[in-house]
Structure 1
């Protein structure tokens, strides 16, 4: 119970309670505007965050022919690139990305990586250390101008400069060709964004192929050529264009790729084409290649090759997958009237998880992301299961999540697989459509995408166990030493704790904006506006920050400054609470209240012991020592007291008299920002009768003093406790100082044997039990799809 303090000076003094009136901010004001940090608006990018009237971007169209050598695990190909200069600048050379050179023997990535030798190391760790023995870089055979004239070029690690014979002027285009080859990496030894997986049981390979062709770099208004070296973390910055890609693979392989298949009659059987047609209007996945057909292909080796041709319009990249092990299912949906084929390719080792969930997850993701951003406009969306844990490309992505060999799986494996598919399919929106520069800012695609992934997971299943998005889940990271953190606004290659920084923290920040700072209505509108403005364009962080403010009417500079530009954390604390009630000046009321307080006051320890030890005082023994004051009651109300009160109230208006006798409670709460990160204050007040009330105080309460403030709460009923952030909305790192009176926060410790044995997953445990009863395990033999 909070103890009241009398406001002896009456109501007038209450109205002049001291607040932190002076600005005691030290250093940079957390509410200073970001104008000095953001680029100056211009005709290309406006102050509102929208593309300007003179916005432009370059274009690169490709015609690619590539051949997969299944015997040597290598690729060879040639491509024609038509590059259109839509900038106002004259270009004398072009920059091309050679991302496979990250696997070159002389890779700058390998040369600059740090590492340690451990006393005990796995063969996989040893393979990683020795990966420089693998020669996986591009072998450029020739670069030619259309017509056959050789073009001079210079390779600088993962970038190649192509020198033009004549300057490329605005609105002009140039077509040139590149011939190349490289060796494909084994994903179990060299874990990259693409590669192959070998299955010794049936001696087959599964290929997930990306960054397989020399790709044009971005030339933009805000930084010119983006030719920062590819070191591993910072992914890709790419221009849009149209693609036509012909993939020659073994005749018994099934190939899935970005875009739509152009020659189905040449590579698919009539039955497979009929199934594809059936899948367009099916309410559940239809098997195009069944498990039985895939298993038969595994056991045979067809002679010769087939060439699969795909076309894609207005995409920034192209990727593909190929294997004779592929089961293939598909299901059609419509998104704002546009038909979309949702498809999955997976080996039998992926079942039952993949057949049951993958394509359903693809469809759910397309629908949900379209609701929160823009309608999906590409014709297909594909999820492929193979060696890559999770990687995204336009219309196709590579995902992990494999059950045990007996077909069982843990809950973690199931939800991990669903989450990675949502995440990678979601990348179609960020950055494949809203085309941010991943080489510079990983958070602009990973963070925004992880946020919408969280929304999509929650619409998949009630209380879905999302890893990222909830503020409470980022607390452990925010508690780490500042020397182990970098601001979100850090280049991709310099980020520490990449997953937390590029994925978790920005996603959590957006959730805090949506739920606590802006509200869902304002946030959802502004976020959708950002996606609409920058669809099929190249946004920067400033474009995002400015659009979110412009479309919502909410000043968020303080939030971007704290959450994105600093490593401060949230730790708001209640330093103390003072309880005041108004002195009514009515002697009968005030004397009765004082008497009640005296009667409730506990006796001191000396008084308690004196009752036992002192049987009789001297005055008790000699009553003649008593006088007037031994019987005087200072809290009794006299006629003189009443008259003085009547004289006092005569000078007050009826409204003032009512306020004197309203019996209101005034609580002065002292609050401190211990973590440094500015946040709204959410206060839960619990009343004497057990009822609760939530007060949401905007972050602007800290604008004149970023470190400490006091806030007065006025209530009719007495309050027994105050709690800050009761629903953990702000990622507060220390909940022990969030309550008044203070509450102890429970924690736990584990007791375990020195060596723990791996336990079977719950499905295996249930399987063992049901085998005794000769009952099948639900779902363990499902292959998904309908034929």
Structure 2
């Protein structure tokens, strides 16, 4: 770095000149002020939703209560059902019609999903890919058999518009009034492995059994609110569900040898469980480890038979926005109890033997850990159960119940990726109980409000599970590959769910990373945690919007974050800060003994020029060497020697200074003028690490407002008592900087890696197989031993 000495008539001027120089106001992009307040981007506050981000005095939301009866036909994988919906209008508006969601209609041959699906043909294609493009041979859409007012004789007129259905009322539903109507329907369940989907069935050819994960199985009320009116945006497969709260009572009729799990609490255990199973269930409520309620031996025996007749399982749930269930004769069922602020919660898992020993060891423990972790960061979990169900689906969430993938190899061994994949997916899907099942955001419009916030909390829970847990998302460095991509491949986070180009990066990873940066770098843990919890408390069991989140985070923390929301959520710029140069200054102490000694050191350390080095060889003697009579006073004069006159002049100078100024002179402070550039466009805090000559280090955190007058480039002066050897930006990788090569001064070379590989890759056994680890590990809790098949 370049060294300069500050020379000035007075000490004050020498210190002030470089530090107070004003930078021109010159935003990086013409017409853009990155620190402008979010004005027109956010809706105007009103009595429903306040400027603080809290619900207003006139906030309202609708209510939908359900009494549902469904029958599962295991012979043809179909469901027949009827429901009584009591819809209560708590809005100030009269409603002449109601909108319901028919999400299974994406499986209609002429669905909007099928018609708008894009694809590319290749020279080589699998039958599965071709079948997906054709979407032939299956119709899983709702068949509406009847709609009428409860107890009335005539049908209500209705109109089906792809995945939405309008039901016309005989008279407008007035505010504070309720209406009850009955819907009857049937549909065919989809094969998840062939057609995908958030629910469906998996067929096990070895024992010819089915495992059903059932959701979106009934016509569901759409949301009517103060923001959108009716939220009846079509379901195309990505944007998930927006639903009102209510109470559910659901009776599920299934084959007599099936085990059925569901949202809510079982109402008729005496009719569907054996005495031994009821005793185990009671034991599990106070167990610190999972207790097996339906053992693997019992499940295996059920797999081998086909009981005649049916059983009806009845579940009830209060104040939930949805309902899901599972059914199979293959299910093992375990559970353990926990307490959340004095309220008992039963953590449970349902899984086939193919999932053991992995699921018996980790699933229910992961459920319990998630409930504890999220409850302390958001709101206490209020529901009586939390359930993880295993099937072929990767992961999908519903109130109190979620569907999760990952199973071991057939020999019972598994890779580390499978183990941590299971724990992570359970944490993520159970975590959705908080976002959006309790804090009930609009998933159809804003995927990030549930997936992003949940992924952030998932990251925190994973780090609490195990030191060094291999989290896939959350750390700023993990989002760098996405944020450094071509902007054409990105959308702002504030993009509708169905229009996002890279859903995983955009709606999960980027908002989760943004929140982690807010917590660690921008706000600090204390301010962030308080504000985040305030948001959850304000909007628990309500319908928040992005503006409610943004405003609450600022309101509860006292931190202006409009610049952050604008950059991270409304834009696609990235972080790339660079140290362009460093100049080193020291104050001229005026002390001749100090300054002359420093100059002597500099002269002695200065390298000889090439000419001087060659002249030593080519000119053995100079003229003065040969003729000493040419020497005079100046040939022996030491211009850096300190005279008594020099000392007296210095003492006279010191006498003009205040004691504080004299102390500053003695310190011999170092001033470093650091030139910074914002190459990526995204304004962020500047985190600078200074490494001193003695090896010690210091980190300085500068708020993002350093860029407020010039979004593109600034200079910052650092004052140190010790000389600095090097400067480094973002030393702990906390700002998602996409180019670390320009973060250090002097520059540091960072090696890259390339991999050599053979053209034909061979399947590698997992480490458990390589070391012959036995798959016969004891299943957690009581009951039978869980092992691989």
Q: Which interval holds the TM-score relative to the shorter structure?
A: over 0.9
Q: Residues 351 and 782 of structure 1 are in contact (CA less than 8 Å); yes or no, is this contact kept in structure 2?
A: no
| 2:17 counterpart SS class | coil
Determine the structure 1 residue equivalent to 2:249.
244
Determine the structure 1 residue equivalent to 2:144.
140
**Following the alignment from structure 1 to structure 2, what is the Cα–Cα distance between the partners of residues 696 and 80?**
59
Alignment of 1:229-268 (within 5 A): 229-268=234-273
| 2:159 counterpart SS class | strand
**Following the alignment from structure 1 to structure 2, what is the Cα–Cα distance between the partners of residues 778 and 388?**
27
Q: Residues 394 and 428 of structure 1 are in contact (CA less than 8 Å); yes or no, is this contact kept in structure 2?
A: yes
In the TM superposition, what is the alpha-carbon distance from 1:8 to its structure 2 partner? Answer: 2.3
Alignment equivalent of 1:718, drawn from 719, 723, 728: 723
Alignment of 1:539-688 (within 5 A): 539-688=544-693
**Following the alignment from structure 2 to structure 1, what is the Cα–Cα distance between the partners of residues 93 and 188?**
38
- What are the superposed Cα offsets for residues 133-167 of structure 1, whole Å, 9 maximum, x if unpaired? 32111111121112232111111100011111100
Alignment equivalent of 1:527, drawn from 521, 529, 532: 532
Alignment equivalent of 1:115, drawn from 116, 119, 124: 119
Determine the structure 1 residue equivalent to 2:7.
8
| 2:725 counterpart SS class | strand
Q: Does 1:90 align with 2:94?
A: yes
Determine the structure 2 residue equivalent to 1:103.
107
Determine the structure 2 residue equivalent to 1:431.
436
In the TM superposition, what is the alpha-carbon distance from 1:588 to its structure 2 partner? Answer: 2.2
In the TM superposition, what is the alpha-carbon distance from 1:697 to its structure 2 partner? Answer: 1.0
**Following the alignment from structure 2 to structure 1, what is the Cα–Cα distance between the partners of residues 35 and 106?**
43
**Following the alignment from structure 2 to structure 1, what is the Cα–Cα distance between the partners of residues 388 and 32?**
47
Determine the structure 1 residue equivalent to 2:23.
21
Q: Does 1:31 align with 2:35?
A: yes
Alignment equivalent of 1:55, drawn from 38, 59, 62: 59
Determine the structure 2 residue equivalent to 1:66.
70
Q: Residues 20 and 709 of structure 1 are in contact (CA less than 8 Å); yes or no, is this contact kept in structure 2?
A: no
In the TM superposition, what is the alpha-carbon distance from 1:778 to its structure 2 partner? Answer: 5.2
Q: Residues 213 and 325 of structure 2 are in contact (CA less than 8 Å); yes or no, is this contact kept in structure 1?
A: yes
**Following the alignment from structure 1 to structure 2, what is the Cα–Cα distance between the partners of residues 725 and 19?**
25
**Following the alignment from structure 1 to structure 2, what is the Cα–Cα distance between the partners of residues 653 and 519?**
40
**Following the alignment from structure 2 to structure 1, what is the Cα–Cα distance between the partners of residues 615 and 358?**
77
Q: Which runs of 5+ in 1 are unaligned?
A: 768-776
Alignment equivalent of 2:694, drawn from 680, 683, 689: 689
Alignment equivalent of 1:702, drawn from 704, 707, 712: 707
Alignment equivalent of 1:499, drawn from 495, 504, 507: 504
Q: Does 1:783 align with 2:785?
A: no
- What are the superposed Cα offsets for residues 508-548 of structure 1, whole Å, 9 maximum, x if unpaired? 11111111111111111111111111000000000001111
Alignment of 1:406-417 (within 5 A): 406-417=411-422
**Following the alignment from structure 1 to structure 2, what is the Cα–Cα distance between the partners of residues 368 and 655?**
53
Q: Using a 3 Å threshold, how does the CA distance of structure 1 residues 44 and 629 change in structure 2: closer, same or farther?
A: same
Q: Residues 19 and 709 of structure 1 are in contact (CA less than 8 Å); yes or no, is this contact kept in structure 2?
A: no
Q: Residues 575 and 738 of structure 2 are in contact (CA less than 8 Å); yes or no, is this contact kept in structure 1?
A: yes
Q: Which moved more, 1:642-651 or 1:350-359?
A: 642-651
- What are the superposed Cα offsets for residues 474-518 of structure 1, whole Å, 9 maximum, x if unpaired? 111111111111110111011111001000000111111111111
Q: Does 1:752 align with 2:757?
A: yes
- What are the superposed Cα offsets for residues 538-560 of structure 1, whole Å, 9 maximum, x if unpaired? 00000001111111111111111
Q: Using a 3 Å threshold, how does the CA distance of structure 1 residues 778 and 602 change in structure 2: closer, same or farther?
A: farther
Normalising by the residue count of structure 1, what TM-score does the alignment of the two structures yield?
0.97
Alignment of 1:249-328 (within 5 A): 249-328=254-333
Determine the structure 1 residue equivalent to 2:47.
43
**Following the alignment from structure 1 to structure 2, what is the Cα–Cα distance between the partners of residues 228 and 110?**
16
Determine the structure 2 residue equivalent to 1:770.
none
**Following the alignment from structure 2 to structure 1, what is the Cα–Cα distance between the partners of residues 654 and 345?**
78
Alignment of 1:128-527 (within 5 A): 128-146=132-150, 147-527=152-532
| 1:330 counterpart SS class | strand
Q: Using a 3 Å threshold, how does the CA distance of structure 1 residues 473 and 260 change in structure 2: closer, same or farther?
A: same
- What are the superposed Cα offsets for residues 58-117 of structure 1, whole Å, 9 maximum, x if unpaired? 000111111111111111111111111000001111100000011110011111111111
- What are the superposed Cα offsets for residues 196-218 of structure 1, whole Å, 9 maximum, x if unpaired? 11100000010100000000000
Query: How much is the aligned-residue C-alpha RMSD, in angstroms?
Result: 1.4
**Following the alignment from structure 1 to structure 2, what is the Cα–Cα distance between the partners of residues 488 and 619?**
79
**Following the alignment from structure 1 to structure 2, what is the Cα–Cα distance between the partners of residues 263 and 645?**
97
In the TM superposition, what is the alpha-carbon distance from 1:625 to its structure 2 partner? Answer: 4.3
In the TM superposition, what is the alpha-carbon distance from 1:656 to its structure 2 partner? Answer: 2.2
Q: Residues 253 and 323 of structure 1 are in contact (CA less than 8 Å); yes or no, is this contact kept in structure 2?
A: yes
**Following the alignment from structure 1 to structure 2, what is the Cα–Cα distance between the partners of residues 87 and 725?**
50
**Following the alignment from structure 2 to structure 1, what is the Cα–Cα distance between the partners of residues 574 and 136?**
40
Q: Residues 253 and 312 of structure 2 are in contact (CA less than 8 Å); yes or no, is this contact kept in structure 1?
A: yes
Normalising by the residue count of structure 2, what TM-score does the alignment of the two structures yield?
0.97
Determine the structure 2 residue equivalent to 1:773.
none
- What are the superposed Cα offsets for residues 743-769 of structure 1, whole Å, 9 maximum, x if unpaired? 1112111011111101100000011xx
Q: Which runs of 5+ in 2 are unaligned?
A: 784-789
In the TM superposition, what is the alpha-carbon distance from 1:171 to its structure 2 partner? Answer: 0.5
- What are the superposed Cα offsets for residues 5-39 of structure 1, whole Å, 9 maximum, x if unpaired? 11122632331215343311242211111122111
In the TM superposition, what is the alpha-carbon distance from 1:472 to its structure 2 partner? Answer: 0.9
**Following the alignment from structure 1 to structure 2, what is the Cα–Cα distance between the partners of residues 760 and 13?**
69
| 1:16 counterpart SS class | helix
Determine the structure 1 residue equivalent to 2:786.
none
Q: Using a 3 Å threshold, how does the CA distance of structure 1 residues 612 and 191 change in structure 2: closer, same or farther?
A: farther
Determine the structure 2 residue equivalent to 1:774.
none
In the TM superposition, what is the alpha-carbon distance from 1:702 to its structure 2 partner? Answer: 1.2
| 2:276 counterpart SS class | helix
Q: Residues 577 and 678 of structure 2 are in contact (CA less than 8 Å); yes or no, is this contact kept in structure 1?
A: yes
**Following the alignment from structure 1 to structure 2, what is the Cα–Cα distance between the partners of residues 134 and 604?**
85
**Following the alignment from structure 2 to structure 1, what is the Cα–Cα distance between the partners of residues 119 and 615?**
73
| 1:408 counterpart SS class | coil
Q: Which moved more, 1:115-124 or 1:395-404?
A: 115-124
| 2:195 counterpart SS class | coil
**Following the alignment from structure 1 to structure 2, what is the Cα–Cα distance between the partners of residues 124 and 408?**
28
The size of the alignment, in residue pairs, is 777
Q: Residues 411 and 775 of structure 2 are in contact (CA less than 8 Å); yes or no, is this contact kept in structure 1?
A: no
| 2:106 counterpart SS class | helix
**Following the alignment from structure 1 to structure 2, what is the Cα–Cα distance between the partners of residues 128 and 612?**
85
Q: Residues 2 and 582 of structure 2 are in contact (CA less than 8 Å); yes or no, is this contact kept in structure 1?
A: no
